[in-house]
Structure 1
Amino acid sequence: MTIVILIFVHGLTGDYEQTWKAENAADPWPKSLLPSIITNARLLTFGYDANVIGKGQVSENGLREHAMALVNDLARVRNKTKTNERPIIFACHSLGGLLCKDALGYARDCLEERHRQINCCTRGIVFIGTPHHGSDLAPVARKLARYLGRFKQTNSAILDVLEKGSDTLSRIQRDFANMLRSRNEVSKDPSHLSPIEIVCFFEELPLDIVGTVVSKDSAIMPSSNAIGLHCNHIDMTKFDDKEDENFDRIAAELQEMCNKIAGDKTDKTDRTSLASHS
């Protein structure tokens, strides 16, 4: 019985499959490991061009364009499968967390109800190494891209949002904080939207050559549950074993969110497996 949509959003230089796949694994862990633990969720991955530096052409789309694509793609899938009122949980790595926050702001202000429902139905977000507080990450992003072997062309539209003092980052943070505050207010109004549960994971180990990509201070949101992962920024989303302690920490938080929703909602639909939308 599927009662929630769980969608994975990759980060900088990431990929809708490779970000969530260990080096020697046959499949991404949302497909190979998670379904036996979380049996009441439809698992989706969202892909977008997150290469900021590349040998060939790189997308010139900014974060807002990718956020709009996420909202449009997810709304289309929900409409097609008649699951427009299904609760949503996001799991986001790195830049994907900022994209998710911007997407929820965009969805909230949309004229189409099916787009607004994405904001209204969101019940939880797991941020994994997301740079919430905008220390000067653009140089780190360039180093990270070069570390991964990508160079020459640069998408400044993506890098700009990571700069300290970025107007775009400030807008995203301000809008998201206001939305959380409104959602988390105690209200007896039955139409009041449910709170959004937030969990933030931070990296405990540096990346070779690059160092720490997202500091603990930047990866944590005020009043959120903060959990360390004993790995670097890239490996914090790559697992091939259920016994991996880092996987267990993330899976446990996702499972807890799904269980809380299960206590509130019992709609009966068929369980489906991993799908990808880019």
Structure 2
Amino acid sequence: MGKFPAWLRKTRDSLQGTSRPSTPPNPQAHTNTDIGPSENPPIPPFPDGVKVLHDCPNATVDICFVHGLTGDRESAWTADGQSAPWPKTLLPPKLEKARILTYGYDAYIVRKGVASSNRLIDHATNLLIDLTTDRVCCNAPSRPIIFVVHSLGGLVCKQAVLLSRNNPESHLRGIFDCTIGIIFMGTPHRGAWLADWVKIPASALGLVKSVNKSLLGILQTDSQALELIQVNFCSMIRERQMANQPPEVACFFEELPLVGVGRVVSKESATLEGYNPITIHANHRDMVRFASAEENGFKRVLGELVRWVSQVGKKNKPIASKKILG
């Protein structure tokens, strides 16, 4: 995205609060028995921020994809054997008036080299600011937006929408005002699955060494911060629905276990009360990697997107299958 203007840097600081002292490094987190720290190869830049997968000059809606744990903004959505993510190859022919974006942030809680020390609120703040900046630069700050989010990306998205709501910076309120739908895919709304996350062998994920403890902390089952995000989000959705306003919500859950690990996010944690749970016949990793438009998982996600996009411009008209959170 380039350098942030002064007003964006000021906004970022106001959202994140006063700076805190840096945590002393944990020497054990970077222990390497093969080579010394000075001989470690440099870590390549992480592909973060907004990337346009498909531009559309006369777009009526933005669709933004936010990946989950251990993913990045393109590979997380790319099926094995495919050269490009399906939002770039499969969606444009189906949604001709949609501008399709993907958002990247360093979601590796364990990875070779150094993991990001950003907290959930930091990632959410970055998403809010980067997406706002992109839409302003495209002269489309009021264009309707739909999020498709996977795993941890769902928590980042929920926090970003909540940060946008009633934000003191008027330009940042646009994300909340313009969000018409959120598709959650394997998102741990209740966090129960992460009690066992740290037990997953690093080799099963292809990752080793450094740990982002701040992310692990908020993703624990008893995390009060996670519960607060959930309570505030559900309250916001209920309030909007009672006023017959968006966003719409759809919840997808994984049907198959991850080899050597099991089901990463349970159906109970991946769904919200009052919404029909929708299944994807895949494991947690592959549930967001479609190779063909003929896959049922893709058709189910597309069905939600088409239904919501068709409602753009139809203000105050309820969708028949809308549910109210209990």
TM-score, length-scaled by structure 1: 0.89
Answer yes or no: is 1:169 the counterpart of 2:226. Answer: yes
The separation in 2 between residues aligned to 1:255 and 1:140, in whole angstroms, is: 34
* 2:189 maps to which of 118, 122, 132: 132
- Quote the offset at 1:136 in angstroms: 4.5
- Quote the offset at 1:139 in angstroms: 2.9
- The answer to which structure, 1 or 2, has the higher relative contact order (CA under 8 A, 6+ apart) is 1
Matches for 1:158-237 after TM superposition, within 5 Å:
158-186=215-243, 194-237=245-288
- Quote the offset at 1:92 in angstroms: 0.2
Q: Helix, strand or coil for the counterpart of 1:46?
A: strand
The separation in 2 between residues aligned to 1:70 and 1:180, in whole angstroms, is: 20
* 1:259 maps to which of 310, 314, 322: 310
Answer yes or no: is 1:99 the counterpart of 2:156. Answer: yes
- Quote the offset at 1:225 in angstroms: 2.9
> Is 2:193–2:266's contact at 8 Å kept on the other side of the alignment?
no
Specify the code of the residue in structure 2 equivalent to 1:129: G
Runs of 4+, deviation exceeding 6 Å? none
CA gap of 1:144–1:243, structure 2 versus 1, over 3 A, is farther
Aligned length: 259
> Which residue is equivalent to 1:123?
180
> Is 1:53–1:142's contact at 8 Å kept on the other side of the alignment?
no
The separation in 1 between residues aligned to 2:134 and 2:93, in whole angstroms, is: 23
> Which residue is equivalent to 2:54?
none
Specify the code of the residue in structure 2 equivalent to 1:244: E
Give the greater-gyration-radius structure (CA). 2
Q: Helix, strand or coil for the counterpart of 2:259?
A: coil
- Cα-Cα RMSD: 1.6
Q: Helix, strand or coil for the counterpart of 1:35?
A: coil
> Which residue is equivalent to 2:105?
48
Structure 2 gaps of 5+ residues are 1-57, 317-326
Answer yes or no: is 1:67 the counterpart of 2:124. Answer: yes
> Is 1:67–1:99's contact at 8 Å kept on the other side of the alignment?
yes
Q: Helix, strand or coil for the counterpart of 1:102?
A: helix
Specify the code of the residue in structure 2 equivalent to 1:30: P
Q: Residues 181-221 of structure 1, C-alpha deviation per residue, up to 9 Å, x if partnerless?
A: 1111136xxxxxx2211000001110100000000010100
The separation in 2 between residues aligned to 1:249 and 1:112, in whole angstroms, is: 37
Q: Residues 4-48 of structure 1, C-alpha deviation per residue, up to 9 Å, x if partnerless?
A: 110000000011000100111121000001000111111000000
> Is 1:3–1:262's contact at 8 Å kept on the other side of the alignment?
no
> Which residue is equivalent to 1:269?
none
Q: Helix, strand or coil for the counterpart of 2:196?
A: helix
Specify the code of the residue in structure 2 equivalent to 1:47: G
The separation in 2 between residues aligned to 1:255 and 1:144, in whole angstroms, is: 39
The separation in 1 between residues aligned to 2:214 and 2:154, in whole angstroms, is: 16
The separation in 2 between residues aligned to 1:169 and 1:105, in whole angstroms, is: 13
> Which residue is equivalent to 2:72?
15
> Which residue is equivalent to 2:168?
111
TM-score, length-scaled by structure 2: 0.76
CA gap of 1:4–1:124, structure 2 versus 1, over 3 A, is same
The separation in 2 between residues aligned to 1:215 and 1:186, in whole angstroms, is: 31
Q: Helix, strand or coil for the counterpart of 1:7?
A: strand
CA gap of 1:100–1:46, structure 2 versus 1, over 3 A, is same
Q: Helix, strand or coil for the counterpart of 2:312?
A: helix
* 2:295 maps to which of 221, 232, 244: 244
Specify the code of the residue in structure 2 equivalent to 1:170: E
The separation in 1 between residues aligned to 2:86 and 2:197, in whole angstroms, is: 27
Q: Sequence identity, in percent? A: 44
- Quote the offset at 1:152 in angstroms: 1.4
> Is 1:10–1:94's contact at 8 Å kept on the other side of the alignment?
yes
> Which residue is equivalent to 1:6?
63
